[in-house]
Structures are given as structure tokens and as C-alpha cells.
């Protein structure tokens, strides 16, 4: 790891930049307070642009219209300065949110009067925005991605697919705008956008004007418009800063403004020359991608590595101190937190407002060496200071990491934010090699190593790859419900599954299991058919233009990102609630077939009644063997289950790019959303209650054998190389991680999890609020162990007074 | 193969020796310390614990108890200690885990099957297996077989002992295990007997053997208000340990975490209060005054 022989004690306060450092930390605090307290507001401006541009440019190719819309937003939105030396906001309002109705407008009609939650809490829709939304609704209701997707499905398969998403089989993936991974930020920092525009102009000129080249031609024209717009957008800020400086009397503030102006004249049009310019250039690029399509999973990738040369230069030249870098990073964190999104109530529920701006740290470089940097340690420090919800950090863990670096990671985890989450670098690289080996041009080892975290827990190649969310996130727990109701959804009373027979007629568990697989294959087939068409709808209605400029491969191929223009495009079929399904099947096996404590009829009766009046049966179900305890039979079944799902999924055929696609087993907050649409389950879970989070986490309260058993079970549940992701949350009482020994233990847990082949793990320190909840609901928290030397006990079995004492200690530790 | 009574095997144990460990708690202890935080560990035989606060009043226990030791009162079940034979029939049915049998007869292989599960965690963290109790050495041959079986697997072995153990078993353990967590409760024989039921002659003999053995020994003192925290006792301890050139002592201030287990066993809770931070600070100063460095664990 490159480090610098530098401490703040030996270097004088650097005066390389005209930022008024004396007020900077105070400004950070005020900006954060504003964000945490002010409601987010839905800005009308993008809606106006949308209505105008589609009218003015009717008849132009969709690429061109999309570029013009992007340009109109960037050049007409109100801009302002708010004391943050890094400039550029999403909308014309502080903490403003843009609507993206081109994907879906149904929420406008159905949910307008409901309370709305965005990333920072409540969101307000002003009268003006509401009126524009109604206009847009009328114009767009038959033209949105999801409307087109469903129409195409009906035309092709003769069935209205809306019944499937309504029943909670899956979630319509083109009903929302979406991020797509990691753009080529270093290209913009090091080459500048002017060079990109020049290249695009040359390509347009060189492109033979044959009909075959029509798409390419249209795309280049549009890309030039979009890239010029991003440059012009930064110039608007330069002018604003100059104008504001003219009226500023405080010399320090004036100098800072003039410097902002100078920087905005320079970047992102031209290469950044130092850290200050690089941070602003980064932000303009990131913001522009988000303006085009503000949604989850526009991830900055290996920020601490591509920004490192700028950092190193400024530190060595004495232009910045580490403390000043930390302050600048805090300002950047504020910018990430400002970005909000709202796309309807169900989306808020599935994502909890998460914007997925994930920064990847650690990993290895092209030559296999530890790639972590000193700047990344400052990112961890920033995260500790800011306790922010965005950006999030992901560590690509590998065995060559320095202990001091890992200790910083542990310090951050212990801070209670659960960050960074950990990804197993070895698994991610193997996965890349396996996934892209089947592609026409294969993959280089260097690219496979240049991996990063896309959004939540998915992975791909930095700058050269992107993902599309596909397959509509099928809910595996719902399939159990269909199986137990012979294909009928008990909630909507619609026959959305296939008939697999009266469950009471099954004589062995294997018959149950075969029926489950039939139901699941049916669901995979529907969701594949539906989502392949959804991708056609995406390309037709909302192709990304600037995003395509920023992902390597699209310009070369002359193909937008959605159509597979990047060098390594990938499909991410997210699949949720696997553990609920496996646990439910295990409970049926145990109670109905192995121990015969219940008949299938008794179980069905209790489920139909949502266990009301059947608490004894619910307890039997809840106490039946569950994943997460390292019991060989149970985990053997869970592993078989996930293997079979993967096989079934592959048997449905290739994805829309023509390849076998690995399943992404993770939950986002879909466990919450799908849970609300489901009846009772044989796991002992009641109707409407959230399903299990992650894809290999234990159902809450059902892991009794301690963290090591849980970690081993979680790591081995899924073949993480064959799959595109796993997702694992582990809770800890902070006392378990105290001191230097606690840090070593945590690192050992991470290492062992990776040794067992796990891909993703996130540690959450149990908060005092959770403990209070455990006090009130002991049955749901039976697994919380209190660790004291020579003593053994579970939290819920302690006297209330003692519990209170531990709650107080936990508060203290946090 | 030897069998013994185990009352808990706690994986991911982080406070009983170095690294990530599995602690095997053996049931049975020759001492009866007034402050014992694991009162269910004192008797060797399995015992029923009844946590009435977790009882939902479902009545399953009432229907299965063969000894009529279960009743119902005010919507929850009751436990008649005089009639209970600790057979565990109720615990096996109890859906809310309000009833639990502490103690299970296990073979060495059965214990090792659990211990072996976390081998990779031990290797990666420098951890291993800890034998605690109760008093693990009271397990006799079962205990020694477990230690030997762990060493055969290449595991690091820690023994958490009160020292009240026959010289024969103790010296054998000393030969085999890697680390000892050795309790020191009181230096005065008479006081020791009053607090724990036995004088300290055997304990001091074993302590001397341990400290002279060259093995890693962590001296641990359960610090109990008004029982062993007077200056005279601390000074005596300091004098004793200084003869072995030992200055560090791990101190475990009294905690009330075990109280609910007394109630669950149908026993009266000990009348001891936890230290206030000021009182603890004052006591720790006495250690320092007499040349001992106390480390709170």
C-alpha cells in the first residue's frame, strides 16, 4: 500500500487553496443539520422540461430527444451556492428530488395523497409539482416503460402480466429508473470531456452514412449534445460564483468563490490538475449521471484509488493537509447525501430510499498487489465522522491487506454504521472470470481484478461494465405459498401459479420439493419473458445518453448502455427471500414428514387462519430446524436448494444478451415489500410481516449457536462464484468487539467467512434500541448472547434490571 | 469412552482466553461461592431452570409432567421443586424456552464434534477451546480426555479453574493445557472457607504448581464488595504473587447477570450489589498501592 511519510504535526497548515478553512467544519455541520431536518421537496422543473422537450423535438430519434431533455434540465434548472465549496445540486431546490415519470406514472394517480418517504425521510410535493405531475400522467400513462412492457407481454403471450406483480410474485423492474454500476470516472478526471466531444465529432464524421449505421449516427449526435451540456453546466456555476464573489465583502469568502469559479471553468471540460479540481470534476460527472437517471446504484467505484494520485501530489506539494482533505471529503459526503429519489410508495418500500452510491475500497491492482491507499483510510475516517447514509463503503477483502488498514476498517464497523460492508475479493474475481469467459471477447485478468461493488452487493468491472436489473426480482417465499395453494395466490385469489396438486396428496417430502421446483420454474419463465421485453421497452423509451458516454465500450460499439454497449454488460437477476423458502420447506419436511407432529391439513388450516387460534402450531413452526445454526442436515438442504434454483434458472435459457446469467441472491428491502403482500408461512412468520433480510442471513431470532455457526452456515449456503451475489447481515453486541482483541477477532471472522467461500458480509452492532425491543419481544430475540468472562447467558433471560444495565452500557459504547 | 455432564458449549466465546474460542462448560463444582454467577453449574446432575417471565401459559408442561411438579397460577405455569425430578419432559415441550434443562450427559466424541466445527476460526484468530464450569477439573477423566482430544486436533487449550482440584488431576492438566485462567478468591483460609465452603490450602498448592510450571497463567480475581476487597486481603495477595514475580491480575468485578438463574432454580438470590464506578475505582487503587496492576476483564 502506498503511504506518505507525513504527519500533521510536521507539516505547516497548508494554504494551497483559497477555501476558508476557519469556517469549513462549521459549514459541514450546518449543511448536514439542514439535510437531516428539512423535508425533501419534489422539484417541478424536470417535469416542465419533459413536457416541453418531447413536444419541441417530436419526430427526432429517441436518443436525440433524451439528450435534449438532459441538456434542458442542466441548462435551465435553478442553480445556487450553499456554502459547500464543492458545487452542483440535483435540482433547483435544496434537498430537492426529481420525478422520473417516463418509467412509471401509476403512483401519481394512486398515491398522490399518501405520505411519501424518500432517502432522508418525509418528502413534500408542492402544488405546482402536483399539477405538472397530473399533466405528465395524462400524456405518459400509455407510453411509460412499464406500460409498454406489459402491453408487449400481452401482445406476445396473451395474458395481462400486471396480475403477477400485484400478487407479489415479482416486482416490475422497469417501473423505476435505475443506476447501472460504475462509470469510467478516471477517464473524465484524466482526459476531460472536451477530448470526449472531439472524439465523438470525429467518429460522427467518420461514420459512413449508410442505413446500417443509423443507430450509431443518432447516438453520436445525441452524445455530443449531452457531453456539451455537462460542460456548459459547470460553466453556469463558474458564472454564478463570479457574480456572487462580486457582491462579497469578506475577503476570505470572496477568494473562495473566485477559486470555485476558476475550477468550474476548468473541469470537467479539461483534465484535473490537483485534488481540489479532481473532487469537483468527480462531482460534476457523478451528478450529471444522477440527473439523467437518479436512482439506486450509480456507484463511484474505486474512488480512493483513482483520486489517490491527485491526493498524493497535493500532500507532497504541501497544498493540502490530511485534515483539510478530510474536511473536503465531508463536504463531498454532504453532496452524496443530498441526492434523493422518489418513484412511488412501493419503490420507497423496496429500497428504503437507498441511493446505492457505493465506494469500493481495497482489492488488488492489475498485477495482483494490494491496491488499498492512504486516501481510503481517510474515507473510512470520513464515514466515522459523518455517520451518513450515503455514500456507503465496501471493502474488497483479501489476505494481503495491512493490519493497520484493517484496524481502521474495524474502527469504522464498531462505530455502529455497519460499514464498510465486506466483499470477498477472491470470489469476486473468480466470478468475473467465470461470468465473462462465455462472452465473445472473453475477459482479461487485469479487468477481472479491476472489480467493484455495483450498488448494494452486486459486483462487476469498474468503468467498463454495467448491469441491468432483470427478471423482476422473483420472490421465492411466494412460491411456497403458491405450492401450498395449488397455484392460487391466497391474497389476490388469482391463479398466478400452475397446478401442482392438492398439497395434502403429497406422500413424501420429495414430492413437495418437486412441486416447489415446478412452481418456481413457472415463475422464472414468466419473469424472464416479462423482463426480456422490459429491456426492449427500456431501450425504446429511456436509453441513457450521458451514462453511455461514461461507460467504456458504448462509444466504440456505437450502442447505448441499456442495449449492452459496455465492454462487459451484465444482467443482474435479483432474487429474494430464499431463506424463507428454504426454512418453510424444512419446516414442512420436519413437522409433516419426518416427525409427523402435524398433518399437511393441520398446517394449511393454521396458515389460512394466519395462526390465529393456532399459537401452538406457530410455535412448532417457529422452532422447527432453521438455517443459520451449522446443523449439517439443515445446511445440506439449504445448499441443495440454492444449487437447484440456479440450475432451474439456467434451464429457462439465456438472458437478453444471450448468456447464462448468475442469479443475484439479495434482498435490498424487498423482504419488507414482499412480506407485506404475503400470508403466513410454515416458518412461523405471520401474514404481512417482513421476510428474512439478505439471502443467507438467519430468520430473526432463529440462530442459537452463535456467530461462528451463523457465519459458517451463511458462507456455505450459496456457491458465490456461480451466483452473482450473496447477502449476509450479522448482528453483534458491541461488547463482543471491544479492545484490540475484539478487533483481531472481527478480522478473523471476516477472514474465516471468506475462507469458507462467502461473498458478502455486513456487521451491525446491536443498538440499545434493538435491546429495548428485545426486552419487549423476547421471543424474537432468543439468540442475543451476553458475553462476560466465565459467564454464559442469553440477553432475554436476564432480569429486567440487568437488561437495563446492559442497555445503558450499549448506549455508552455507541 | 468417558462421559460427563456438560451444561453449555458456547461457540464464538471471546472472553475466555485468546482469539475466538469455544468454551465447554462442565457441570459440577466443589465450591459454593456466595456470588456464583452460574449457580446452575454447581451441582453435577442435570437441573431444571424455569424462567417464569418467558412463560406464555400455554400449559403444555402441565400436560406432560410425569411427576405432577407443574401447576398453573395467574395464567402462567408454576414449578414445584419438591416434586420435580429434573427429567426434562416439560423443557422438551416448552415452546417459549421458559423451561430448560441445564446439563446433558455427553461423550468426548459428542463434545469434540461441536468443538471441531470452529477449527478454522481458531486457526485464523489464534483461538481454541476453553474448558470452564463449574470446575472443569471436577470432571476428572472426562475432563482430561477432552483436553487430550483437543490437543490431538491441534487446538490451543485453556482451562478456566478455581483451583479446587486434586493434585493428581491438576498436575496432569498442567502438563497438557496451554493457558490457565486461575481464580484467586481470598488469601485467608478461614475467610475462604466462609465465602466458598472450602479453605484455600489445595488451591494455593495448585496455584504454586501452576505459577512454577512455566505455563501461561492468568491470575483472575472475582472482586466482590465487602467479601474480598479489603486492603488486608489485597496486600496479602500482592505479597504472595510478588514471590512469583507476578504483578498483573485480571479483575472481574461482581455483576448481577446471574441473578435470574437463581430464581429459575428456585434459589434465593444473593444479596450483593454491583460496585458504583467510584467504589470500584477506590478498590482498584488498593491494588496499585500494593504493587499489582489490575486489568478489568
In this model, does residue A117 exceed pLDDT 80?
A: no
Q: How far apart, in whole angstroms, are the C-alpha atoms of residue A356 and residue A298?
A: 6
Q: What are phi and psi of B124, to 5 degrees?
A: -75, -20
C-beta atoms of A619 and B124 within 8 A: no
C-beta atoms of B14 and A792 within 8 A: no
A623 touches chain B (CB under 8 A): yes
A785 touches chain B (CB under 8 A): yes
Could you tell me the domains of chain B?
Answer: 3-45+106-258+269-296 (3.20.20.70), 47-102 (3.30.70.20)
> Rounded mean pLDDT of A424-446?
97
Arithmetic mean of pLDDT over chain A: 91
Q: How far apart, in whole angstroms, are the C-alpha atoms of residue A694 and residue A136?
A: 36
The vertex-A486 CA angle with A484 and A492, nearest 5°, equals 85
> Which band of pLDDT confidence, cut at 50, 70 and 90, is reported for residue A95?
confident
Grid coordinates given for B9: 458449549
Q: What is the pLDDT of residue A805?
A: 67
C-beta atoms of B181 and A749 within 8 A: no
C-beta atoms of B181 and A706 within 8 A: no
Q: How far apart, in whole angstroms, are the C-alpha atoms of residue A94 and residue A80?
A: 9
Question: Is the CB of residue B82 less than 8 Å from the CB of residue B48?
Answer: no
A 10 A CB-CB count for A97 gives 29
Question: Is the CB of residue A311 less than 8 Å from the CB of residue A277?
Answer: no
User: Which of B18, B97, B117 shows the shortest C-beta gap to A630?
Assistant: B117
List CB contacts (< 8 A) between B274 and chain A. Answer: 805
Q: Are strands A451-454 and A458-461 parallel, antiparallel or unpaired?
A: antiparallel
Q: How far apart, in whole angstroms, are the C-alpha atoms of residue A577 and residue A663?
A: 13
Q: How far apart, in whole angstroms, are the C-alpha atoms of residue A465 and residue A747?
A: 31
Grid coordinates given for A703: 440462530
Grid coordinates given for A673: 415489500
Q: How far apart, in whole angstroms, are the C-alpha atoms of residue A378 and residue A8?
A: 13
User: Which of B16, B124, B127 shows the shortest C-beta gap to A751?
Assistant: B124
Q: How far apart, in whole angstroms, are the C-alpha atoms of residue A231 and residue B164?
A: 80
Residue of A nearest to B133 (CA): A790
Would you tell me which residues 686-705 of chain A have a C-beta closer than 8 angstroms to some C-beta of chain B?
705
b or e along A671-694 (b: 16 or more beta carbons within 10 Å of the residue's beta carbon)? bbbbbebbbbbbbbbbbeebbbbb
> Rounded mean pLDDT of A184-212?
97
> Which band of pLDDT confidence, cut at 50, 70 and 90, is reported for residue A5?
very low
CA B76 to chain A, closest CA, distance in angstroms equals 15
Q: How far apart, in whole angstroms, are the C-alpha atoms of residue A578 and residue A475?
A: 8
In this model, does residue A351 exceed pLDDT 70?
A: no
CA B203 to chain A, closest CA, distance in angstroms equals 18
| pTM (predicted TM-score) | 0.91
Strand partners, A563: none
Question: Is the CB of residue B199 less than 8 Å from the CB of residue B190?
Answer: yes
C-beta atoms of A749 and B118 within 8 A: no
DSSP state of B52: G
A749 touches chain B (CB under 8 A): yes
b or e along A751-779 (b: 16 or more beta carbons within 10 Å of the residue's beta carbon)? bbbbbbbbbbbbbbbbbbebbeebbeebb
Grid coordinates given for A644: 437447484
Q: Nearest CA to B237 among B180, B188, B296, B182?
A: B188
Grid coordinates given for A267: 473541469
Q: What is the pLDDT of residue A353?
A: 64
pLDDT tens digits, A220-234:
999 999 999 999 999
3-state secondary structure A582-594: HHHHHHHHHHHHH
pLDDT tens digits, B75-104:
899 999 899 999 999 999 888 889 999 999
B120 touches chain A (CB under 8 A): yes
Q: Nearest CA to A425 among A761, A8, A782?
A: A761
List CB contacts (< 8 A) between A701 and chain B. Answer: none
In this model, does residue A774 exceed pLDDT 90?
A: no
C-beta atoms of A790 and B120 within 8 A: no
List CB contacts (< 8 A) between B58 and chain A. Answer: 615-616, 619
C-beta atoms of B10 and A755 within 8 A: no
> Which band of pLDDT confidence, cut at 50, 70 and 90, is reported for residue A8?
very low
Q: How far apart, in whole angstroms, are the C-alpha atoms of residue A345 and residue A341?
A: 11
Question: Is the CB of residue A116 less than 8 Å from the CB of residue A348?
Answer: yes
In this model, does residue A159 exceed pLDDT 50?
A: yes
Residue of B nearest to A786 (CA): B257
In this model, does residue A358 exceed pLDDT 70?
A: yes
In this model, does residue A11 exceed pLDDT 60?
A: no
Grid coordinates given for A211: 442505413
Residue of B nearest to A781 (CA): B96
In this model, does residue A302 exceed pLDDT 70?
A: yes
Give the number of residues written for chain A.
814
Q: How far apart, in whole angstroms, are the C-alpha atoms of residue A631 and residue B11?
A: 14
pLDDT tens digits, A456-490:
899 999 999 999 887 888 999 999 999 999 999 99
Q: Nearest CA to B275 among B266, B288, B285?
A: B285
Grid coordinates given for A231: 460542460
Cell 465496501 maps to which residue?
A394
b or e along B57-77 (b: 16 or more beta carbons within 10 Å of the residue's beta carbon)? ebbbbbeebeeebbeeeeebb
Would you tell me which residues 59-98 of chain B have a C-beta closer than 8 angstroms to some C-beta of chain A?
60, 95-97
> Which band of pLDDT confidence, cut at 50, 70 and 90, is reported for residue A13?
low
C-beta atoms of A709 and B11 within 8 A: yes
Distance in Å from the first CA to the final CA of chain A: 31
Residue B284 Cα distances to A283, B203, B289, angstroms: 54, 24, 9
Strand ranges in chain B using DSSP code E only, listed in sequence order: 3-13, 21-26, 47-50, 70-73, 76-79, 99-102, 104-107, 128-132, 156-161, 179-183, 216-223, 248-253, 293-296
Q: How far apart, in whole angstroms, are the C-alpha atoms of residue A395 and residue A393?
A: 7
List CB contacts (< 8 A) between B25 and chain A. Answer: 792
pLDDT tens digits, A722-741:
999 999 988 777 777 778 88
Residue of A nearest to B124 (CA): A748
> Rounded mean pLDDT of A332-358?
83
> Which band of pLDDT confidence, cut at 50, 70 and 90, is reported for residue A12?
very low
List CB contacts (< 8 A) between B15 and chain A. Answer: 787-790
* ipTM of the prediction greater than 0.90, yes or no: no
In this model, does residue A9 exceed pLDDT 50?
A: no
* Helix, strand or coil, per DSSP, at residue A615: helix
Would you tell me which residues 263-292 of chain B have a C-beta closer than 8 angstroms to some C-beta of chain A?
263-264, 274
pLDDT tens digits, A586-611:
999 999 999 999 999 999 999 999 99
A616 touches chain B (CB under 8 A): yes
Measure CA B43 to chain center: 12
Q: Which has more pLDDT, A36 or A411?
A: A411
3-state helix, strand, coil in chain A (%, to 5): 55, 10, 35
In this model, does residue A161 exceed pLDDT 90?
A: yes
User: Which of A708, A789, A797 shows the shortest C-beta gap to B297?
Assistant: A789
B118 touches chain A (CB under 8 A): yes
C-beta atoms of B256 and A752 within 8 A: no
Q: List, in sequence order, the alpha helices (H) in A345-402.
A: 345-351, 374-386
Q: Nearest CA to B131 among B27, B283, B237, B254?
A: B27
Q: What is the pLDDT of residue A10?
A: 38
List CB contacts (< 8 A) between A617 and chain B. Answer: none
Q: Are strands B99-102 and A358-362 parallel, antiparallel or unpaired?
A: unpaired
Arithmetic mean of pLDDT over chain B: 95
Interface test with A, best of B8, B10, B12 (most A CBs within 10 A): B12
In this model, does residue A414 exceed pLDDT 90?
A: no
Q: What is the pLDDT of residue B65?
A: 94
List CB contacts (< 8 A) between A744 and chain B. Answer: 19, 125-126
> Rounded mean pLDDT of A56-66?
97
Cell 454504521 maps to which residue?
A417
* Helix, strand or coil, per DSSP, at residue A323: helix
CA B253 to chain A, closest CA, distance in angstroms equals 11
Question: Is the CB of residue A290 less than 8 Å from the CB of residue A90?
Answer: yes
Q: What are phi and psi of A610, to 5 degrees?
A: 55, 35
b or e along A143-175 (b: 16 or more beta carbons within 10 Å of the residue's beta carbon)? ebbbbbbbebbeeeeeeebeebbebbbbbbbbb
In this model, does residue B232 exceed pLDDT 70?
A: yes
List CB contacts (< 8 A) between B264 and chain A. Answer: 797
The vertex-A707 CA angle with A702 and A711, nearest 5°, equals 95
C-beta atoms of A788 and B257 within 8 A: yes
Q: Are strands A421-424 and A760-765 parallel, antiparallel or unpaired?
A: antiparallel
A 10 A CB-CB count for A357 gives 24
Q: What is the pLDDT of residue B9?
A: 95
Q: Is the dihedral of CA A719, A698, A571, A186 positive or negative?
A: negative
Strand partners, A358: A392
List CB contacts (< 8 A) between B16 and chain A. Answer: 789-790
Residue of B nearest to A789 (CA): B15
Q: Which has more pLDDT, A53 or A700?
A: A53
Grid coordinates given for A266: 476548468
Q: Is the dihedral of CA B21, B27, B30, B36 positive or negative?
A: positive
Q: Nearest CA to A389 among A37, A120, A180?
A: A120
Q: What is the pLDDT of residue B265?
A: 92
Residues 6 or more apart whose Cβ sits within 8 Å of residue B33: B185, B195, B196, B197, B222
Cis peptide before A810 (omega within 30 of 0): no
The vertex-A186 CA angle with A184 and A188, nearest 5°, equals 80
Residue B297 Cα distances to A721, A737, A741, B88, B245, angstroms: 42, 13, 12, 35, 21
List CB contacts (< 8 A) between A788 and chain B. Answer: 15, 37, 255, 257
pLDDT tens digits, A670-711:
888 899 899 999 999 999 988 998 899 999 888 888 889 999
Q: What is the pLDDT of residue A6?
A: 41
Give me the percent of chain A exceeding a pLDDT of 70: 93
Q: List, in sequence order, the alpha helices (H) in A142-250.
A: 145-157, 162-166, 185-191, 193-206, 214-246
Amino acid at each position: 500500500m502506498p503511504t506518505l511519510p507525513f504527519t500533521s504535526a510536521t507539516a505547516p497548515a497548508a494554504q494551497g487553496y483559497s477555501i476558508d478553512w476557519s469556517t469549513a467544519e462549521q459549514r459541514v455541520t450546518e449543511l448536514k443539520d439542514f439535510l437531516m431536518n428539512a423535508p425533501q421537496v419534489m422539484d417541478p422543473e424536470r417535469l416542465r422540461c419533459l413536457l416541453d422537450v418531447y413536444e419541441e423535438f417530436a419526430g427526432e430519434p429517441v436518443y436525440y430527444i433524451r439528450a435534449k431533455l438532459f441538456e434542458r434540465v442542466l441548462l435551465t434548472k435553478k442553480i445556487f451556492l450553499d456554502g459547500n465549496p464543492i458545487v452542483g445540486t440535483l435540482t433547483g431546490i435544496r434537498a430537492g428530488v426529481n420525478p422520473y415519470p417516463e418509467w412509471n406514472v401509476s403512483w401519481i394517480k394512486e398515491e398522490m395523497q399518501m405520505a411519501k418517504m424518500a432517502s432522508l425521510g418525509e418528502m413534500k410535493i408542492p402544488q405546482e409539482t402536483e399539477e405538472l405531475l397530473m399533466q405528465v400522467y395524462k400524456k405518459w400513462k400509455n407510453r411509460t416503460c412499464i406500460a409498454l412492457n406489459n402491453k408487449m407481454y400481452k401482445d406476445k403471450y396473451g395474458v395481462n402480466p400486471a396480475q403477477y406483480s400485484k400478487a407479489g410474485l415479482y416486482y416490475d423492474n422497469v417501473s423505476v429508473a435505475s443506476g447501472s454500476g460504475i462509470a469510467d470516472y478516471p477517464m473524465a478526471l484524466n482526459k476531460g470531456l472536451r477530448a470526449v466531444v472531439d472524439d465523438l465529432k470525429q467518429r460522427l464524421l467518420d461514420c459512413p452514412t449508410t442505413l446500417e449505421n443509423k443507430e450509431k449516427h443518432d447516438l453520436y449526435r445525441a452524445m455530443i449534445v449531452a457531453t456539451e451540456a455537462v460542460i456548459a453546466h459547470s460553466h453556469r456555476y463558474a458564472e454564478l460564483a463570479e457574480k456572487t464573489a462580486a457582491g462579497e465583502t469578506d475577503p476570505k469568502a470572496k477568494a473562495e468563490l473566485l477559486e470555485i469559479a476558476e475550477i468550474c471553468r476548468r473541469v470537467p471540460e479539461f483534465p484535473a490538475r490537483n485534488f481540489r479540481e479532481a473532487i469537483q470534476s468527480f462531482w460534476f460527472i457523478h451528478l450529471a449521471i444522477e440527473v439523467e437517471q437518479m436512482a439506486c446504484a450509480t456507484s463511484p467505484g474505486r474512488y480512493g484509488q483513482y483520486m489517490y494520485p491527485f491526493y498524493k501530489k497535493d500532500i507532497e506539494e504541501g497544498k493540502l493537509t490530511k485534515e483539510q482533505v478530510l474536511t473536503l471529503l465531508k463536504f463531498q459526503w454532504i453532496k452524496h447525501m443530498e441526492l434523493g429519489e422518489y418513484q412511488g410508495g412501493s419503490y420507497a418500500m423496496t429500497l428504503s430510499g437507498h441511493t446505492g452510491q457505493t465506494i469500493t475500497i481495497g482489492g488488488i491492482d492489475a498485477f495482483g498487489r494490494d491496491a488499498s491507499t492512504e486516501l481510503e483510510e481517510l474515507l473510512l475516517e470520513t464515514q466515522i465522522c459523518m455517520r451518513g447514509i450515503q455514500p456507503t463503503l465496501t471493502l474488497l477483502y483479501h489476505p494481503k491487506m495491512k493490519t493497520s488498514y484493517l484496524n481502521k476498517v474495524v474502527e469504522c464497523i464498531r462505530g455502529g454504521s455497519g460499514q464498510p460492508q465486506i466483499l470477498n475479493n477472491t470470489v469476486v474475481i473468480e466470478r468475473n472470470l467465470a461470468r465473462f469467459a462465455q462472452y465473445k471477447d472473453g475477459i482479461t485478468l487485469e479487468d477481472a481484478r479491476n472489480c467493484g461493488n455495483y450498488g448494494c452487493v452486486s459486483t462487476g468491472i469498474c468503468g467498463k461494465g454495467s448491469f441491468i436489473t432483470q427478471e423482476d426480482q422473483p420472490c421465492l417465499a411466494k412460491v411456497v405459498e403458491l405450492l401450498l395453494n395449488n397455484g392460487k395466490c391466497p391474497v389476490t385469489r388469482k391463479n398466478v401459479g400452475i397446478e401442482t396438486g392438492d398439497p395434502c396428496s403429497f406422500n413424501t417430502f420429495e414430492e413437495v420439493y418437486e412441486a416447489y421446483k415446478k412452481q418456481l420454474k413457472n415463475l422464472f419463465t414468466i419473469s424472464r419473458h416479462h423482463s426480456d421485453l422490459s429491456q426492449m421497452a427500456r431501450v425504446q423509451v429511456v436509453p441513457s445518453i450521458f451514462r453511455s458516454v461514461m461507460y467504456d465500450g458504448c462509444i466504440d460499439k456505437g450502442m447505448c448502455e441499456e442495449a449492452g454497449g459496455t465492454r462487459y454488460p451484465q444482467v443482474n437477476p435479483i432474487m429474494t427471500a430464499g431463506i424463507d423458502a428454504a426454512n418453510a420447506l424444512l419446516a414442512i419436511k420436519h413437522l409433516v414428514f419426518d416427525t409427523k407432529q402435524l398433518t399437511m391439513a393441520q398446517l394449511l388450516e393454521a396458515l389460512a387462519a394466519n395462526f390465529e387460534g393456532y399459537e401452538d402450531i406457530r410455535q412448532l413452526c417457529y422452532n422447527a430446524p432453521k438455517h443459520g445454526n451449522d446443523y449439517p442436515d439443515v445446511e445440506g438442504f439449504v445448499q441443495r436448494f440454492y444449487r437447484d434454483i440456479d440450475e432451474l434458472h439456467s434451464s429457462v435459457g439465456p438472458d437478453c444478451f444471450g448468456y447464462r446469467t448468475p442469479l443475484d441472491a439479495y434482498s435490498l428491502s424487498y423482504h419488507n415489500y414482499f412480506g407485506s403482500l404475503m400470508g403466513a408461512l410454515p416458518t412461523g412468520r405471520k401474514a404481512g410481516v417482513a421476510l428474512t433480510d439478505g439471502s443467507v442471513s438467519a430468520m430473526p431470532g432463529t440462530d442459537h449457536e452463535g456467530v461462528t455457526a451463523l457465519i459458517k452456515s451463511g458462507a456455505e449456503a450459496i456457491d458465490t462464484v456461480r451466483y452473482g451475489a450473496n447477502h449476509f447481515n450479522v448482528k453483534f453486541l458491541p461488547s463482543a468487539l471491544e479492545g484490540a482483541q475484539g478487533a483481531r477477532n472481527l478480522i478473523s471472522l471476516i477472514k474465516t467467512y471468506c475462507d469458507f467461500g462467502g461473498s458478502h458480509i455486513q456487521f451491525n452492532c446491536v443498538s440499545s434500541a434493538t435491546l429495548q425491543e428485545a426486552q419487549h419481544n423476547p421471543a424474537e430475540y432468543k439468540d442475543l448472547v451476553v458475553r462476560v468472562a466465565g459467564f454464559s447467558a442469553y440477553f432475554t433471560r436476564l432480569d429486567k434490571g440487568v437488561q437495563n444495565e446492559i442497555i445503558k452500557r450499549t448506549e455508552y459504547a455507541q | 469412552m468417558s462421559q460427563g455432564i456438560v451444561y453449555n458449549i458456547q461457540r464464538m466465546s471471546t472472553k475466555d482466553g485468546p482469539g475466538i474460542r469455544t468454551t465447554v462448560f462442565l457441570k459440577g463444582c466443589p465450591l459454593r461461592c456466595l456470588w456464583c454467577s452460574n449457580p446452575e453449574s454447581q451441582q453435577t446432575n442435570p437441573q431444571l431452570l424455569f424462567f417464569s417471565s418467558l412463560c406464555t401459559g400455554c400449559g403444555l408442561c402441565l400436560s406432560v409432567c410425569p411427576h405432577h411438579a407443574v401447576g398453573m397460577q395467574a395464567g402462567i405455569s408454576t414449578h414445584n421443586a419438591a416434586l420435580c425430578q429434573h427429567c426434562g419432559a416439560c423443557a422438551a415441550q416448552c415452546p417459549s424456552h421458559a423451561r430448560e434443562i441445564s446439563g446433558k450427559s455427553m461423550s468426548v466424541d459428542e463434545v469434540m464434534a461441536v468443538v471441531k466445527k470452529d477449527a478454522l476460526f481458531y486457526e485464523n484468530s489464534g483461538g481454541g477451546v476453553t474448558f470452564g464450569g463449574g470446575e472443569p477439573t471436577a470432571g476428572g477423566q472426562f475432563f482430561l480426555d477432552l483436553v487430550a482430544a483437543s490437543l490431538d486436533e491441534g487446538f490451543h487449550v485453556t482451562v478456566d479453574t478455581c483451583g479446587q482440584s486434586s493434585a493428581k488431576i491438576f498436575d496432569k492438566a498442567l502438563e497438557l493445557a496451554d493457558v490457565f485462567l486461575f481464580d484467586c478468591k481470598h488469601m485467608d483460609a478461614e475467610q475462604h472457607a466462609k465465602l466458598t465452603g472450602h479453605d484455600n490450602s489445595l488451591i494455593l498448592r495448585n496455584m504454586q504448581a501452576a505459577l512454577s510450571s512455566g505455563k501461561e497463567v492468568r491470575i483472575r480475581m472475582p472482586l466482590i464488595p465487602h467479601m474480598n476487597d479489603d486492603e488486608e486481603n489485597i496486600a496479602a495477595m500482592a505479597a504472595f504473587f510478588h514471590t512469583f514475580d507476578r504483578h498483573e491480575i485480571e479483575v472481574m468485578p461482581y455483576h448481577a447477570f446471574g441473578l435470574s438463574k437463581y430464581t429459575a432454580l428456585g434459589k434465593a438470590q444473593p444479596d450483593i450489589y454491583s460496585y458504583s464506578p467510584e467504589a470500584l475505582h477506590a478498590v482498584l487503587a488498593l491494588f496499585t498501592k500494593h504493587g499489582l496492576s489490575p486489568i478489568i476483564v
